[in-house]
Structure 1
Amino acid sequence: MRLADYFDCAVSRNPDRVAFVDGPARITFTEAQRFVHSVATALVNDSTIAPGAHAAIYAPNDYRISLLQIAINRADMAWVSVHTRNTVEANAAVLNFADCALVFFHSAYEAIVPKLKAGLPAACRFICIDRASAHGEALDTWRANGDARFVAPAEDLERPAMLQPTGGTTGPSKGALHSNRSLEMGLISVFSTLNMDQHSRVLAVAPLTHAACMLTLAAAARGGCTVVLPGFDVKTVLRTIAEERVTHLFLPPTVIYALLSDPALADADLSSLRCLAVGAAPIAPEKLKEAVRRFGAVIYEVYGQSECGFPVVAKVPADYLREDGSFDEVALRSAGKAGQFACVEIMDDDGRILGPGERGEIVVRSTTVMLGYYKNPEATAEVSRFGWHHTTDIGIKDERGFITIVDRKKDMIVSGGFNVFPGEIEAVINSHPAVLDCAVIGVPDEKWGESVKAIVQLKAGASVDAETLEALCKRELGSVKAPKSIEFWEDLPRSAVGKVLKREIRGKYWEGQWRAV
């Protein structure tokens, strides 16, 4: 079924249940459905918008984002994920590439809409979701004549439903085009793996215009409730968990670290939490242990990509916690096991599936995998070699099925003929209690070709010297893999979803070189 079909089924089971909480607003499933169907009717009746058009939502967190995504799906159109933390110019380029015909925007971005419009064709419509605007019709006015129940045509599971820009940490961003079928299986994978049901209460903190929407949409499909916050603030998050009896929450590791380091956590009521899902980047094992001690046995780690959804690999408490409460260290340091709806293997460059303990590329087969890259058949063919989706992540799968990600394929450092994988070194450095995060890269070296360098961000108020970290790495990994130099930066550059931008860091050291490795 389509996302919108699941939502309509949830409405029929829970008409009076609250679906969304946003500040003082509490919207029932019936009220939410009325909004969805009126928007879908307006989309189909608007003569300036072609069937199957692409629409984007440019807004800070707001319950209407999820309802607009469902409405776009109800109208058999596709929404384009937008990360509002990107620059306006970058987002205009993404929307232009995506052939976006309609942008729903919030008045919080009123001032930047002219600049956004300047980068898009004049035919692109703009509609303001929360009030009248000089730059676009008010949503409530536009949908005023669309209150009748929208009757959808027969579903087409291969019809495009979502265009998701990829992370772009190692190169230009592409657009992963997902169908109704892959979106459906993605939702099923989320609510099955994270044990979501009609009693789930999801706290939405990460931007809903981007990948974090999957938890909210999964909750809507199951008949659960989403509590929306405009952004991350430690005290607000902790207070909301207690007051709204939040059961599910998704955060990147850097935000988890901020929670763990805040004194307010000690007095927080977290008794309602059933699942704190960590994703977007690996969480350091020692930090995961600390999170379990502070939050309880509710930490889930999820792995996926824009191209194949998430979680295609997941680590649940039963994987890494023994019955006596001790940690299974091997499981803890892994990303987890293949999800219920994905086949995940390790492959060499010749397409051979490797056995336990062998290092190679992590590849995926699943209904959650995209249709392909939008307008890029060459890249689609490249990432789909041998009939598998290629993640470009390097991993090892053990006899029990636990998959450990050791690096990204393109991040490998070759120093003096030795292959060095930065992920191994980063894990060791991140285990030091003074370290918040780090990035390990190869830098030019006349003798070795590349030498290993670590860029380290410390916790606020913490200190450690380079010699101590170098000695730690030598002790854990040997002298070849230990950094030959360490720098301390106040902040590491990050993408809109929190990933460290190694390409930016490397650029500082390789500028002017005739080669990049």
Structure 2
Amino acid sequence: MHLSRLFQRSVHMFGDRPALALGSAAALSYAELDLRVRALARWLREDLKLEPGDRVTLAMKNCTEYAEALLAIWHARLCAVPVNNKLHPIEIAYVLENSGSRVCLSHGELHESLCATVKLIPGLQLVDVCGESWRSALAGPAMAVDPVRDGDDEVAWLFYTSGTTGRPKGVMLSHANLAMMALNFSADVLAIDEDDVLLHVAPMSHGGGIYSIPYFLRGGLQVVAPSGGLDEPELFGLLNHYRRASLFAAPTIVGRMVQHAKTLQLAARNECCPGLRCILTGGAPFYVEDIKAAVACFGPRIAQVYGQGETPMTISAIGADHIAAAVTTGDDEMLASVGYPQTTVDIDILDGDGQPVPPGATGEVTVRSPTVMLGYWDNPKATAQTLPNGALRTGDVGLVDARGLLHLKDRSKDVIISGGTNIYPREVEEVLLRHLAVEEVSVIGVPDTEWGESVTAFVVRHADASVDEAALNALCIASIARFKRPKHYVFVPQLPKNPTGKVLKDVLRETFAAIALPTHAQ
């Protein structure tokens, strides 16, 4: 299941079909893309003198070169190291050094900012994918087709975690891991064929790039937005140009799409994006009210995926039909879940001693699947802690209900313990988001001399909307146990987030400590 062999299979099956395009421009066919990929693979191995297993870092915005580079790296039996292009050069330098990368591919302003950094790392070559060496490589001879039959366990994708709890760790994902992810995608998320299109607006260094694999395997077309990211008018234009087009989008992107659709003031919801087949959502909590708003706007075309870097995009899923039916019937319990375990996934809910909890009880979500990582790069201690007996300890707190749906409560480190009782921030966040004036909210626990921790809500109001603590308290008291309601409210213009849209709760804790609000009685 080496990805280069699987791509060659697609070249034979779909040679004349469109494979890769920039915006609405003419697409490269699979046969044309194959020639470029093999030319780049030869250049990497022969001109840049890379050996099998060497790491190549991709530090760039979304572009067609990104897709070409990934395939070339795998054809040359090298390892891709994707980094978010919004990281600081110092942060990228850590990844370059820790991974021992031999080459860093980049372009534009980021390439310029990395020049000084790369000079301090011995043996590292910085290549501009818009430069002469890249163009010369594409014009050169192509590496022969020699299908790999013994490389399933080679590391294909070395993904560095966001590092919100310390230095990022390199997640080692094999070709077999990623191929099995693609099969799960087709079985549980979206069945695709050669008529399907994947639009890249989310970073290709994360879920968007990983989802390129099932599309290449099934002969689909990938389209990179010319802006290299999210531009709502551009995206909606592409969704008018293409048919059967889907995209991976964090909940924040979905929210922006909904708001943009509202500005168009179209009579029917399907008029705003006639070519849209599905929005594949994941990477951060997707709240019930936001799901309902997305379905109301785009119809039965919203799917949700739960996964981690350590088991890429593959733990559970809930398809667009299930979500649409749940909205229609008022099944908020299903909407509040992250769906059913994907086909190759076994989920256990364990207590603090590593023992299974009773059905419906809360504990740590653990996963067994052929999609689970090989381990952390050069970090056997962290690997042993995270993969005891081969099962992935996700660090997420959740439960499996009577229907088999997985419900996430929170990251284990974010659970609030107040007066000896566990309070899950997401439960409080879901309630607060029901208020029409609340656009976003994030709940944390802060030190409390009497109760240990007290619940604190950071609230972003909708533009020109007004809401006060009393109204939010009344909503909470009417919906959840009194002890779960926030004791502090902090109204902010926006929530701090990392490049993938996850709220940085550590930053919120620091913010709260700085403003030193008084503690209220429980």
Question: Structure 2 length normalisation: TM-score?
Answer: 0.92
List gaps (5 residues or longer) in structure 1.
133-137
- 1:438 is paired with a residue whose SS is strand
Q: Which 4+ residue blocks in structure 1 deviate beyond 4 angstroms?
A: 510-513
Decide whether the 8 Å contact of 1:40 with 1:150 is kept in 2. Answer: no
Q: Indicate whether 1:221 and 2:224 are aligned.
A: no
Decide whether the 8 Å contact of 1:80 with 1:162 is kept in 2. Answer: yes
- Residue identity (%): 32
Partner in structure 2 of residue 298 of structure 1: 301
Give the AA of the match of 1:431.
R
Q: Supply the distance in 1 between the matched residues of 2:415 and 2:20 (Cα, whole angstroms).
A: 44
Q: Indicate whether 1:425 and 2:423 are aligned.
A: no
How far off is 1:20 after superposition? 1.2
How far off is 1:153 after superposition? 4.5
How far off is 1:121 after superposition? 1.6
Decide whether the 8 Å contact of 1:373 with 1:379 is kept in 2. Answer: yes
Give the AA of the match of 2:280.
A
Q: Indicate whether 1:401 and 2:399 are aligned.
A: no
Partner in structure 2 of residue 178 of structure 1: 173
Q: Indicate whether 1:166 and 2:169 are aligned.
A: no
Q: Paired residue for 1:351, among 351, 354, 366?
A: 354
Q: Supply the distance in 1 between the matched residues of 2:139 and 2:277 (Cα, whole angstroms).
A: 40
Q: Supply the distance in 1 between the matched residues of 2:82 and 2:203 (Cα, whole angstroms).
A: 10
For 1:369-448, what aligned pairs fall within 5 Å after superposition?
369-448=372-451
- 1:480 is paired with a residue whose SS is helix
Decide whether the 8 Å contact of 1:191 with 1:197 is kept in 2. Answer: no
How far off is 1:95 after superposition? 1.7
Q: Supply the distance in 1 between the matched residues of 2:340 and 2:326 (Cα, whole angstroms).
A: 19
How far off is 1:108 after superposition? 4.3
Give the AA of the match of 1:384.
L
How far off is 1:509 after superposition? 3.7
> Measured at CA, do residues 165 and 324 of structure 1 come closer, stay the same or move farther in structure 2, by a change above 3 Å?
closer
Q: Supply the distance in 2 between the matched residues of 1:391 and 1:431 (Cα, whole angstroms).
A: 29
For 1:59-458, what aligned pairs fall within 5 Å after superposition?
59-118=60-119, 121-132=121-132, 138-192=133-187, 193-229=189-225, 230-262=228-260, 263-267=262-266, 268-322=271-325, 325-458=328-461
Partner in structure 2 of residue 50 of structure 1: 51
Partner in structure 2 of residue 135 of structure 1: none
> Measured at CA, do residues 235 and 78 of structure 1 come closer, stay the same or move farther in structure 2, by a change above 3 Å?
same
Decide whether the 8 Å contact of 1:16 with 1:29 is kept in 2. Answer: yes
- 2:453 is paired with a residue whose SS is strand
> Measured at CA, do residues 264 and 403 of structure 1 come closer, stay the same or move farther in structure 2, by a change above 3 Å?
same
How far off is 1:504 after superposition? 1.5
Q: Supply the distance in 2 between the matched residues of 1:153 and 1:337 (Cα, whole angstroms).
A: 34
Q: What are the superposed Cα offsets for residues 259-289 of structure 1, whole Å, 9 maximum, x if unpaired?
A: 2122345434423322211111121111111
Decide whether the 8 Å contact of 1:43 with 1:49 is kept in 2. Answer: yes
Q: What are the superposed Cα offsets for residues 106-141 of structure 1, whole Å, 9 maximum, x if unpaired?
A: 2343421223314x5231112211223xxxxx2122
> Measured at CA, do residues 324 and 82 of structure 1 come closer, stay the same or move farther in structure 2, by a change above 3 Å?
closer
Q: Supply the distance in 2 between the matched residues of 1:302 and 1:153 (Cα, whole angstroms).
A: 30
Q: Supply the distance in 1 between the matched residues of 2:379 and 2:515 (Cα, whole angstroms).
A: 31
> Measured at CA, do residues 434 and 17 of structure 1 come closer, stay the same or move farther in structure 2, by a change above 3 Å?
same
What's the C-alpha RMSD, in Å, of the aligned pairs?
A: 2.1
Give the AA of the match of 1:485.
H
> Measured at CA, do residues 269 and 508 of structure 1 come closer, stay the same or move farther in structure 2, by a change above 3 Å?
closer
How far off is 1:342 after superposition? 0.9
Decide whether the 8 Å contact of 1:83 with 1:209 is kept in 2. Answer: yes
Q: Supply the distance in 2 between the matched residues of 1:232 and 1:94 (Cα, whole angstroms).
A: 25
How far off is 1:4 after superposition? 1.7
Q: Supply the distance in 2 between the matched residues of 1:460 and 1:317 (Cα, whole angstroms).
A: 30
Q: Supply the distance in 2 between the matched residues of 1:330 and 1:359 (Cα, whole angstroms).
A: 16
Q: Supply the distance in 2 between the matched residues of 1:324 and 1:454 (Cα, whole angstroms).
A: 27
Give the AA of the match of 1:225.
L
Decide whether the 8 Å contact of 1:60 with 1:108 is kept in 2. Answer: no
Aligned residues: 507
> Measured at CA, do residues 303 and 423 of structure 1 come closer, stay the same or move farther in structure 2, by a change above 3 Å?
same
Question: Structure 1 length normalisation: TM-score?
Answer: 0.93
Partner in structure 2 of residue 38 of structure 1: 39
Q: What are the superposed Cα offsets for residues 278-333 of structure 1, whole Å, 9 maximum, x if unpaired?
A: 11112111111121121111110100000011131001133344499423221111
Mean Cα displacement is larger for which, 29-38 or 348-357?
348-357
- 1:12 is paired with a residue whose SS is helix
